[in-house]
A and B are shown apart, each in its own frame.
Chain A
Amino acid sequence: MSSESSKKRKPKVIRSDGAPAEGKRNRSDTEQEGKYYSEEAEVDLRDPGRDYELYKYTCQELQRLMAEIQDLKSRGGKDVAIEIEERRIQSCVHFMTLKKLNRLAHIRLKKGRDQTHEAKQKVDAYHLQLQNLLYEVMHLQKEITKCLEFKSKHEEIDLVSLEEFYKEAPPDISKAEVTMGDPHQQTLARLDWELEQRKRLAEKYRECLSNKEKILKEIEVKKEYLSSLQPRLNSIMQASLPVQEYLFMPFDQAHKQYETARHLPPPLYVLFVQATAYGQACAHMKSSQPPRQDKTLSVAIEGSVDEAKALFKPPEDSQDDESDSDAEEEQTTRRRPTLGVQLDDKRKEMLKRHPLSVMLDLKCKDDSVLHLTFYYLMNLNIMTVKAKVTTAMELITPISAGDLLSPDSVLSCLYPGDHGKKTPNPANQYQFDKVGILTLSDYVLELGHPYLWVQKLGGLHFPKEQPQQTVIADHSLSASHMETTMKLLKTRVQSRLALHKQFASLEHGIVPVTSDCQYLFPAKVVSRLVKWVTVAHEDYMELHFTKDIVDAGLAGDTNLYYMALIERGTAKLQAAVVLNPGYSSIPPVFQLCLNWKGEKTNSNDDNIRAMEGEVNVCYKELCGPWPSHQLLTNQLQRLCVLLDVYLETESHDDSVEGPKEFPQEKMCLRLFRGPSRMKPFKYNHPQGFFSHR
């Protein structure tokens, strides 16, 4: 109780002089410090549990005191007031205690709060630290993975193999004893070696570069020298031109031609080279004569060199082709093409000619010129030719000579059977099938004729028995055919011109026997040619007296057909003539039909047969001087003579009165001979009589 009372007192004191004490404190804090009663400190010393007990007790006391006071009041009386007073004082004490306790409780609470706050702050700080650490860990982990994933450049370097490394590298780099066991060191060493080597190579490279530089400079110098040479040479060339011209040595022209010739396709090139060579050889043969400018054979190249050059660039070309064909396809699709249009385009493509062509001018003695233009069909790998004949003088074209000099037929069958209407390349047929070309003959007029000899001149050979994959232009083949072909060509032109001339007179009923053939015939020939006309092949085939010729295969459609009519008095001799394009090496073939006292042909009259034999088989004596271009004329004249003989020697029928229609004027040794009673058809020149063969 005493402690309790002391405690109770202390706050009383503070309270009693609260304000003055404060004032004092303000005046001098240091002075008051020691004296200052700190209730906070008291709290630390007191046990909260006991305070709680005290509080409970005080509350119970108060309740009891209140109850007593009430009790007292309710009883009333005088002495009660003192007792009440007393009790009130006791209650006040208790109230004081309660106040004290309340204060303490407040202080405690505050203290508790402070403590909690402090602890919380600590926790927060720790938490923050933890977060930082975690972040740091994460970062480090990332760094580690990054490092792990790092690719070193050296892995991409292609190193020399291990064995090679140890063999070649100097020991101070390879350090075999260290590196053998340690792959890392090994790799490092190898990289070192690699570096070493590369350095050396770089050194070499630099050397080479400088070398190149040097050479380039040298080239530059030389080029300069050469280019300075060019104008000088040009000036020399220019200066030499008049000399060349004066001496007829067209080197310059030839040079230009050869330049162009480089762009020719192989077959045309072969043709060009061989033809030029042949032309030169011919010129040399005639070198005994004074030099002439008009060579018999001149060769030239025609067409656009640029186009040919464009063809020479294969990759671009193929692309172009593709794009072209694409474009074509697009075009065609745009206009919704029929199949025919597409095929047409394909055909055109297939029959395309090389832009360059070779012109050959073959001059004959009488100044007529055969112009040949050779083309090369690139996709068919064949050559074609177009021919044209120009003559020195203007020709009057007889009606019957229509086809003689036409470009289409003038070169037909230069070699037997070579009519130039079929392609000589067997592979072409398959190409044609694809695009629906039946035969080449429909296109021959436009493209030129693919004669076999043309292929041979171009060095192309297509063996029938063993088809070859690729046909290569062959110089030797061309060379071996050049001379014969040129001679044949010349002969052909001359014989055609000769025929042309003969036809002109034949049409007017004149058989133009030349003076050097006059000895073949008697001076007096009575039978006359009255008609000379062309007939169609079909018409010839249908004649009743030409069957033998047709059956013997001598009436091919490449031949030309004529009909001659020879008359003497009432006798009319029809002669159907087959003119082979190979005239005059192949003779014209005659079939006869005599209208006199009935119709007589070879089937019912042996002598008509003999007459045919005379002109067809014994033609060689009618050839006249070489090259026997007069053969046709001579044959016709011979027919006239034969008809004379036939008519004059015909036995006179005694029963018919009157003189013979044809008195015998020819001198004959005998009228008939042999079992078939031949008439004397053979003419003996100087004596002028007729005898039997």
Chain B
Amino acid sequence: MERAVPLAVPLGQTEVFQALQRLHMTIFSQSVSPCGKFLAAGNNYGQIAIFSLSSALSSEAKEESKKPVVTFQAHDGPVYSMVSTDRHLLSAGDGEVKAWLWAEMLKKGCKELWRRQPPYRTSLEVPEINALLLVPKENSLILAGGDCQLHTMDLETGTFTRVLRGHTDYIHCLALRERSPEVLSGGEDGAVRLWDLRTAKEVQTIEVYKHECSRPHNGRWIGCLATDSDWMVCGGGPALTLWHLRSSTPTTIFPIRAPQKHVTFYQDLILSAGQGRCVNQWQLSGELKAQVPGSSPGLLSLSLNQQPAAPECKVLTAAGNSCRVDVFTNLGYRAFSLSF
């Protein structure tokens, strides 16, 4: 178990402030570079840190290689979401999406390539962006968050093309159906909505809290969402549940009490993480295959590095309510933590 060793020397003003900042840091988002060798992580202070996975995983890794290669202030507010295209890193949080060139980011003093703000209706408070989703087929980006809408942005021109309205509260998460151009979104209102990108219409609504998986004391909100062909898994206030989309019925309710904040399909498993230290691995049948403890008291994001360019860096990373990003070299074991 890796622990921050209590420091013997009492600290000065800046050190105390830095220690407190690290202590109250939350890493909301992660994204692996297209080359597969770097990992970007964004925290609640609006900073993005780039870690070198290859050097941290190499045999002669030192303590320093688990520190970020570079850290920069990207946003004013928390960085809630990040995705990588084959050249750019897109980050969003406080109502804006910014693009960074992966090639330039490792240098100091990196400036964003561009920034865009979706057209918001309210002016009192800038709504946050909670989720970003790339649609490779039409080279566009879908943004969703505080204004309860999905915005699609053409990456070629940088213009916002569509607005999908329907949610009654803010949107937590997005998922793309691979075969048909359909997008799933889950939000605070407790509904998972299925959108057809061609018609820009809502095609299906699943009100999760109305089914047996609901847990009223936790709230209705859907915190995480993942989909694979006809299957969809979602969790949050209601229990983590596997749904059959065509019939809109829950098939498996996973027996975990803590609200889940991230879920993903991996081979024939479902990986989920949320409150609690562990990364959970589920069989589709609902059996808990394994619980692998991490170093953070709560996890918010999981990232599987499956870039074919860097097979040696094929790892699972998990981050959440701490300044550490846990790295799992295989699914059953936490090898080490990268740290801000």
Q: Residues of A at under 8 Å CB distance from B?
A: 413, 415-417, 419, 548-556, 558, 580, 582, 585-587, 589, 602-604, 606, 609, 612-613, 616-617, 651, 653-655, 669-670, 672-677, 691-693
Given the interface contacts A552-B4, A602-B297, does A416 sit within 8 Å of B10 by beta carbon? yes
Q: How far is the CA of A587 from the CA of B78 in the complex (A)?
A: 23
Interface size of B as a range: 35 or more
For the complex of A and B, list the 3 residue pairs with the smallest distance between their C-beta atoms, beginning with the closest.
A553-B7, A416-B12, A613-B24
Contact status A676-B3, CB under 8 Å: no
CA A554 – CA B22 in complex, angstroms? 12
Separation in Å of the A440 CB from the closest CB of chain B?
18
Total A-B residue pairs with C-beta atoms closer than 8 Å?
120
Separation of A493 and B41 alpha carbons in the complex (Å):
44
User: Which of B23, B77, B221, B275 sits near A616, CB closer than 8 Å?
Assistant: B23
0/1 string, B284-301, CB within 8 A of A gives 1: 000000000000011010
Nearest Cβ on chain A to B19's Cβ, whole angstroms: 5
**B58-66, B122-130, B133-141, B310-318 - the one binding chain A:** B122-130
With A419-B10, A674-B28 already in contact, 17 other A-B pairs whose C-beta atoms are closer than 8 Å: A416-B10, A548-B23, A552-B19, A555-B6, A586-B11, A602-B321, A603-B297, A603-B298, A604-B276, A606-B275, A606-B298, A612-B24, A653-B216, A673-B146, A675-B223, A676-B298, A677-B223
Determine the residue in chain B with the shortest Cβ distance to A605: B275
Q: Are B170 and A416 in contact (CB under 8 A)?
A: no
Is there contact, CB below 8 Å, between A586 and B13?
Answer: yes
Q: A613 vs B43: C-alpha distance in the bound complex, in angstroms? A: 13
Give, as a whole number of angstroms, the nearest-CB distance from B270 to chain A: 19
Q: In the docked arrangement, what's the CA distance between A655 and B209, Å?
A: 12
B268 sits at the interface (CB 8 A): no
Nearest Cβ distance between residue A599 and chain B, in whole angstroms?
14
Report whether A670 and B23 are in contact in the complex, using a CB–CB cutoff of 8 Å: no
| Distance A587 CA – B15 CA, assembled complex (angstroms) | 12
Contacts of A548 in B (CB 8 A): 23
B298 contacts A417, CB within 8 Å?
A: no
Assess the A675–B261 pair: CB atoms within 8 A: yes
User: A551 touching B125 by the CB < 8 A rule?
Assistant: no
Chain B residue contacts of A675, Cβ below 8 A: 28, 80, 130, 172, 223, 261, 300
Chain A residues in 8 Å Cβ range of B9: 417, 553
- What would be 27 A-B contacts, judged by CB atoms less than 8 Å apart? A413-B10, A416-B11, A417-B11, A417-B12, A552-B7, A552-B19, A553-B6, A554-B20, A555-B6, A558-B10, A582-B13, A586-B12, A603-B298, A603-B321, A609-B26, A612-B24, A613-B44, A616-B23, A617-B24, A653-B217, A654-B216, A669-B124, A670-B170, A672-B170, A674-B80, A675-B172, A677-B188
A551 is contacted by which of B6, B80, B172, B300 (Cβ under 8 Å)? B6
B10 surroundings in chain A (CB, below 8 A): 413, 416-417, 419, 556, 558
Give A613's nearest chain B residue, CB to CB: B24
Known contacts A416-B13, A580-B16, A673-B146; A606/B321 CB under 8 A: yes
The answer on a CB contact under 8 Å between B128 and A674 is yes
**Interface membership of B250, Cβ < 8 A:** no
Chain B min CB distance to A35 (Å): 160
A549 touching B23, Cβ below 8 Å = yes
Q: Which residue of B lies closest to A672 (CB)?
A: B188
Residues on the A chain within 8 Å of B17, using CB? 617
Check B11–A554 contact: CB distance below 8 A. yes
Q: Which residues of B contact A617 (CB under 8 A)?
A: 17, 20-21, 24
Quick check: B128 and A655 within 8 Å, CB to CB?
Answer: no
Chain B hits for A673, CB < 8 A = 128, 146, 170
CB neighbours (8 Å) of A670 from chain B are 125, 146, 170
Q: Which residues of A contact B128 (CB under 8 A)?
A: 673-674, 692
For B130, the chain A residues whose CB sits under 8 A away are: 674-675
Chain A residues positioned under 8 Å from B146 (CB to CB): 670, 673
User: Is the beta-carbon distance between B261 and A676 smaller than 8 angstroms?
Assistant: yes
- Minimal beta-carbon separation of A495 from chain B (angstroms): 13
CA distance A360 to B76 in the complex (A): 48
Across-interface contacts of A555 in B (CB, < 8 A) = 6
